[in-house]
Amino acid sequence: MNTKQKNMLSAEIVKKAILDSFIKLNPVVMMKNPVMFVVEAGTFVVLLMTLFPGYFGTEGRVGFNLAVFLILLFTVLFANFAEALAEGRGKAQADTLKKTKKEIMANKVIGNSVKVIPSTELRKGDVVIVSQGEMIPGDGEVIDGLASVDESAITGESAPVIKEAGGDFSSVTGGTRVVSDRITVRITSDPGESFIDRMIALVEGAKRQKTPNEIALNTLLVSLTLIFLIVVVTLAPMADYLGIKLEIPVLISLLVCLIPTTIGGLLSAIGIAGMDRVTRFNVLAMSGKAVEAAGDIDTMILDKTGTITFGNRMASEFIAVGDTTVETVAEWAAVSSVKDETPEGRSVLELMKKEGYTYPTNAAEGAEFIEFKAETRMSGIDLPNGRKVRKGAVDAVKAWVSAQGGVIPTDLEQKGNAIASEGGTPLAVAVDNRIYGLIYLKDTVKPGMRERFDQLRKMGIKTIMCTGDNPLTAATIAREAGVDDFIAESKPEDKIAVIKREQAAGKLVAMTGDGTNDAPALAQADVGLAMNSGTTAAKEAANMVDLDSDPSKIIEVVAIGKQLLMTRGALTTFSVANDIAKYFAIIPAMFMQAIPEMNVLNVMGLGSPMSAILSALVFNAIIIPLLIPLAMKGVAYKPMSSAQLLSRNLLIYGLGGVIAPFVGIKLIDMVVHLWV
């Protein structure tokens, strides 16, 4: 779903938003936004007074009442337009996704036979066979085979990806296409619950729930509205007691200018646009709360491999220990890697060919392959003759050899530390109770990572690198990358432990992951970003999924979350600051005829009481559409501390919010006064 190139405001989206602005005038819909509902109620009252002036005794004020009605109507329509525009962009993305949801025929396995059925009849647990050129009928996991899959319908990337049974790359998505080979897939979702279904619902906004901060701000806006409503209602009898006649349209105008209509009209649009920005960045947020939490992150936990480094650790050298020869180390390293399909395992065999070493290719016939596990941190092979070959982390292999009564070579630690001190990873190679040597695996830190971590530090975010490497290698990579802390020889439970430790200190934690063993930590983290290429368990545990499967994208996600919070805060500050100028426009206009001394508050020198009220109302209405682009695009974000951000926003949006209405209302009054 490559929506990044879409125009932010296409003509079709704008036309649909204009239509929806009128549809949203339905009071049942408007009640969801209490601030604008009050404005709509006031609009209706003024309309009645305009249509039936004799009944309300306002025959001489029909022109003024009509002007107030039209301005209030456009105020509500502009607020509806902002929300409809934000929703329209999401619905446009949903329409693109819906095109991928067409009827797919599935080859369902029933016993020893295969039956062709529509994909809508598939249920969780069903097994299907997908061959070259066929569409994958539903979300699932590959349980047999290996195939190249085109996921461009989801990710927008044209390059196919390899999916295979077992490991962290077994998850497949319905609507993607197999471009080579054949795989057997176990379906993991029922109809209507697939990954694409959830994406459609989320980007359409159909299931958008207000975030905690949004709810809190909405509560504040409602409270302010109630307070000003009480003030305006009690103002009429007080003015009447003083002999000042305040007409209802004037009081409604005062109320609309006092209540925070600007942020009330834009609040929902800001939330929807924040979700939209994340989606356009090819990240699927399961809720607005996840995006918001990303903006408040204090600690970020990152895997070393694939995130901080390129992750292509390749064998670059065989190193003998004790009295063993390099040729012998290479031979046993190759035997341990014959059935190892990991990039590291394949690189061992490639290094053998490059260096011209040989090994018995039939050595693994009838042997049992021992897969790598995070708990053992070793892999290997058990040969038919009873010999056991292992390769893995030095300390893990040492413990394995010691358990069998073996002797550890005296130069093993020194040579292993030498590799680690250069930022490499040493893998020990052992057969039965003897360690023969080391494999030097090289990895490279991605360019620019130090600068990115410096930016995070300026934001006040602590970075922790998790790696299975030994402490010396971890320290070298951590120093080169510029992270704040690291956890060496990390196991899945270590990630959960550090997350809980940081959360216990009152911090919000983000992390990335793609494997089943990452699922518990992803669920525990406040922001869990799973890779789309990862397992179903990881994606279900996380509250965000990166469709591009780029682990380092968590850094951008945090920036987007902070931008969302900044945008909401900046526009709230601007909205509240706006009211100051409106006080100086409307309050003197209401009272200066009866109390001439009030004219001293007419600092803007507005032409007349009626033009002052209308000018303030017009400004109050037009500021909403003027701020829509900012609400949609978001306030420009630069990495800096919270104190610096606060000072910057108060200066720009606080002071700017005070000055802009004085200038705007005065300019509008110069035009309105000619008519009034």
Same domain for 207 and 66? yes
pLDDT band at 159 (very low <50, low <70, confident <90, very high): low
Residue in 126, 303, 469, 669 annotated catalytic: 303
Same domain for 320 and 401? yes
CATH of the domain at 340: 3.40.1110.10
| β-bridge pairing 299-303 and 509-513 | parallel
Per-residue pLDDT tens digits for 452-461: 888 888 878 8
Residue 622 resides in a domain: yes
Three-state SS annotation for 215-265: HHHHHHHHHHHHHHHHHHHHHHHHHHHCCCCCCHHHHHHHHHHHCCHHHHH
Average pLDDT, integer, range 289-296: 82
- Structural tokens at position 117: 């059925």
Rounded CA-CA distance 282/284 in Å is 7
Same domain for 218 and 83? yes
Three-state SS annotation for 83-98: HHHHHHHHHHHHHHHH
Residue 538 resides in a domain: yes
Same domain for 366 and 410? yes
* pLDDT for position 318: 93
Average pLDDT value for the chain: 83
Number of H helices, E strands in the chain: 24, 20
Same domain for 428 and 563? no
pLDDT band at 5 (very low <50, low <70, confident <90, very high): very low
Residue 196, amino acid: I
CA 194 to chain centre: 19
* pLDDT for position 4: 41
pLDDT band at 400 (very low <50, low <70, confident <90, very high): very high
Same domain for 288 and 262? no
pLDDT beyond 80 at 375: no
Residue 458 resides in a domain: yes
Rounded CA-CA distance 492/301 in Å is 13
pTM: 0.66
Name which of 17-21, 205-209, 274-278 the model is least confident about.
205-209
pLDDT beyond 90 at 597: no
Binding site: which residues?
340, 344, 372-379, 391, 514, 518
Residue 357 resides in a domain: yes
Per-residue pLDDT tens digits for 318-366: 999 988 999 999 999 998 888 887 778 888 888 888 888 887 777 777 8
Binding site for Mg(2+): which residues?
514, 518
Same domain for 474 and 414? no
Rounded CA-CA distance 194/545 in Å is 14
pLDDT beyond 60 at 8: no
* pLDDT for position 153: 61
Q: Which residues contact 389 (CB under 8 A, 6 or more apart)?
A: 332, 335, 336, 380, 381, 382, 383, 429, 430, 431
Query: What DSSP state is assigned to residue 136?
Result: P
pLDDT band at 258 (very low <50, low <70, confident <90, very high): confident
Active-site residue 303, yes or no?
Answer: yes
Residue 222's domain spans which residues? 11-93+203-279+558-673
pLDDT beyond 70 at 525: yes
Same domain for 349 and 317? yes
Overall size of the chain counted in residues: 676
| CB-based contact 101:115 (threshold 8 Å) | no
Residue 102 resides in a domain: no
- Domain end residue (candidates: 394, 422, 442): 442
pLDDT beyond 90 at 564: no
Rounded CA-CA distance 186/139 in Å is 8
Same domain for 296 and 241? no
- Residue-wise DSSP of 503-544: HHTT--EEEEE-SGGGHHHHHHSSEEEEETTS-HHHHHH-SE
- Domain end residue (candidates: 442, 472, 505): 442
* pLDDT for position 319: 92
Residue 364 resides in a domain: yes
CB atoms within 10 A of CB 654: 17
- Domain end residue (candidates: 442, 459, 485): 442
pLDDT band at 53 (very low <50, low <70, confident <90, very high): confident
**Phi and psi torsions of 442, nearest 5°:** -105, 140
- Structural tokens at position 214: 């949004």
The count of domains in the chain is 3
pLDDT band at 80 (very low <50, low <70, confident <90, very high): very high
**Burial readout 50-84 (b: 16 or more C-beta within 10 A, e: otherwise):** beebeebebeebeebbbbbbbbbbbbbbbbbbbbb
pLDDT beyond 80 at 548: no
Same domain for 346 and 436? yes
* pLDDT for position 96: 61
* pLDDT for position 390: 93
CATH of the domain at 542: 3.40.50.1000
Same domain for 541 and 589? no
CA 582, 588, 593, 596: dihedral to nearest 10 degrees? -160
Residue 156 resides in a domain: no
Name which of 93-97, 163-167, 583-587 the model is least confident about.
93-97
| β-bridge pairing 171-172 and 140-150 | antiparallel
Nearest to 304 by CA among 463, 195, 414, 166: 463
β-sheet bridge partners, residue 185: 128, 142
Select, from the ranges 96-110, 224-238, 638-652, the one with the highest average predicted confidence (pLDDT).
224-238
Nearest to 403 by CA among 375, 382, 379, 432: 432
pLDDT beyond 70 at 368: yes
Residue 128, amino acid: V
* pLDDT for position 438: 95
Nearest to 195 by CA among 169, 171, 162: 171
Q: Which residues contact 598 (CB under 8 A, 6 or more apart)?
A: 587, 588, 591, 592
* pLDDT for position 206: 41
Same domain for 294 and 322? no
Per-residue pLDDT tens digits for 180-191: 888 999 998 887
Residue 515 resides in a domain: yes
pLDDT beyond 80 at 59: no
Binding site for ATP: which residues?
340, 344, 372-379, 391
pLDDT band at 437 (very low <50, low <70, confident <90, very high): very high
Rounded CA-CA distance 51/48 in Å is 5
Name which of 106-110, 146-150, 162-166, 198-202 the model is least confident about.
198-202
Q: Which residues contact 308 (CB under 8 A, 6 or more apart)?
A: 302, 445, 446, 449, 465, 477, 481, 483, 552
